[in-house]
Amino acid sequence: MAAFLAGGALTLVTVILSARRISRLNIVRAIRDLPEPQIEGSRRGPLLRSAATVVFGLLVFVAAFQAARLPFFGLGISVIALGVAMALRALGVSQRQVFTGVGLLLVVYWLVPHSFLKSLKPDFTEDMSGFFLIGAFLVTGTVLVTVNNAPIVLGVASKTIGRIRRYTPIVKSALAYPLQFRYRTGLSLAMFSIVIFSVTVMATFVDVLDNQERIGGGYEVVGFVGAELNPVGDLRVAVEANPDLAFIERVVGVPSVCTFHTILQADARLASDTTGQFADTTVTGVGNDFFATNRFGIALAAPEYSGDDGPDATAVWSAVQANPGLAVVNDTIVPRRTNTGFVLASDQFTLNDVQRLLVENNFMDPVNNTVGDLERPCGTWKAETPLN
């Protein structure tokens, strides 16, 4: 939601600024493609706008630091830098020096590893808006540096490729427009860069969501039936007996299928919770076929189920199969430093009250919980391993 609002706001600001600039064009000069006359005006207006920009950036910077929101912390720094650049330009400092400096600052800051920034404030958190902000300011910084140093960048091309006789006319023609109309060149470059960035991010998300090993545990199809109306018997036997289902993948000759039963109306609370208040949750039981065929990974586990390379998924599932009181929980109910934007409802059971428990930890201590459906007495189980 934050990324959507930020994108909508940037689009609106871009449209307003473009419309304002176009409305000031002289129609005759626009048709003939003539430059607008430069009018010397008062510095008061630009200085006031730059001061307002700096103040806004400071407010965002302070609020983000207090709330430990890393993306908006960077937004505040970037807006302050742009406001200072506007002020320096209004005071007569060279445009090339000012905007090259602020462009380099934006590129360097947004490329700094987040681990370094979090060392300044360990409780910094992130969310999906970081994708949008990183792309927007990396593109802004790169375009500012490129456009304001176009004579140098294009001069190198002219003195290298342009010296080859057959390429000389091509190079001169290609460089003429960018050097004469830097503003339009910058806008074109920015729009192209934003499109490439968006396509890259979308491709990354598609690849992540298409990971059957991680999302579906290796299963490609999940079916649901009413257990009381149409109960499922031994699914493996049914698949083996049906020749039309011979295409189903086998693991050591066994079809990669399993059955599970989910209690949708269940309650849970921490065993250490003295208030006695239960929260809504769901509980799923699985058959032995699940333990033999699933490929779900484990994000965090108790030390006895962890090795040098992290949690041992095979050891975890073997322990769950052998111990009825042991459970694996989905990592959405485990707190984390990086907020992915997926927030559970306030009445849903979570492990947020467990001290020092984070998905990013190397391992976790066992957590005792009390859980049961709404029609049976509650029992006690252990949540030791959040599911990846």
- Using one digit for the tens of pLDDT, what is the confidence trace for 159-209? 777 677 777 777 666 666 666 677 777 777 777 777 787 777 777 777 766
Classify strands 310-311 and 260-270 as parallel, antiparallel or unpaired.
Answer: unpaired
The structure's pTM equals 0.57
At residue 22, the pLDDT reads 64
What does the pLDDT look like over 18-36, one tens digit per residue?
677 666 666 666 566 666 5
What does the pLDDT look like over 321-355, one tens digit per residue?
888 888 888 888 888 776 555 555 557 888 888 88
In a domain, 221, yes or no: no
Same domain for 160 and 254, yes or no, is no
In a domain, 328, yes or no: yes
Same domain for 87 and 6, yes or no, is yes
Same domain for 64 and 198, yes or no, is yes
Does the pLDDT value for residue 80 go beyond 90?
A: yes
Q: Which residue has the higher pLDDT, 58 or 18?
A: 58
Same domain for 242 and 201, yes or no, is no
At residue 94, the pLDDT reads 87
Instruction: For residues 257 and 294, give the distance between their C-alpha atoms in angstroms, rounded to a whole number.
Output: 9
Same domain for 116 and 70, yes or no, is yes
Same domain for 173 and 317, yes or no, is no
At residue 388, the pLDDT reads 44
Same domain for 185 and 53, yes or no, is yes
Does the pLDDT value for residue 212 go beyond 50?
A: yes
One-letter amino acid identity for 112? V
At residue 259, the pLDDT reads 78
Ranking 206-220, 238-252, 282-296 by mean pLDDT, the lowest is: 206-220
Does the pLDDT value for residue 256 go beyond 70?
A: yes
Does the pLDDT value for residue 93 go beyond 50?
A: yes
Average pLDDT over residues 281-290: 83
Instruction: For residues 149 and 145, give the distance between their C-alpha atoms in angstroms, rounded to a whole number.
Output: 6
Contact (CB, 8 A) for 99 and 85 = yes
Q: What distance lies between CA 284 and its chain's CA centroid?
A: 29
Ranking 62-66, 253-257, 377-381 by mean pLDDT, the lowest is: 377-381
Name the band, by pLDDT with cuts 50, 70 and 90, for residue 6. Answer: low
At residue 105, the pLDDT reads 93
Mean pLDDT of the chain: 77
Per-range mean pLDDT, top range of 70-84, 246-260, 343-357: 70-84
Name the band, by pLDDT with cuts 50, 70 and 90, for residue 37. Answer: low
Q: Which residue has the higher pLDDT, 65 or 293?
A: 65
Residue-number span of the structural domain to which 346 is assigned:
235-387
Total number of domains in the chain = 2
Same domain for 129 and 278, yes or no, is no
Average pLDDT over residues 90-119: 87
What does the pLDDT look like over 232-241, one tens digit per residue?
677 788 888 8
Name the band, by pLDDT with cuts 50, 70 and 90, for residue 10. Answer: low
In a domain, 276, yes or no: yes
Instruction: For residues 227 and 261, give the distance between their C-alpha atoms in angstroms, rounded to a whole number.
Output: 8
Same domain for 23 and 105, yes or no, is yes
Instruction: For residues 334 and 351, give the distance between their C-alpha atoms in angstroms, rounded to a whole number.
Output: 5
Instruction: For residues 238 and 369, give the distance between their C-alpha atoms in angstroms, rounded to a whole number.
Output: 36
Contact (CB, 8 A) for 321 and 260 = no
Torsion, CA 287, CA 289, CA 294, CA 296, rounded to 10: 20
In a domain, 219, yes or no: no
In a domain, 302, yes or no: yes
Average pLDDT over residues 270-276: 80
Q: Which residue has the higher pLDDT, 267 or 187?
A: 267
Instruction: For residues 279 and 268, give the distance between their C-alpha atoms in angstroms, rounded to a whole number.
Output: 5
Name the band, by pLDDT with cuts 50, 70 and 90, for residue 301. Answer: confident
Name the band, by pLDDT with cuts 50, 70 and 90, for residue 245. Answer: confident
Same domain for 48 and 116, yes or no, is yes
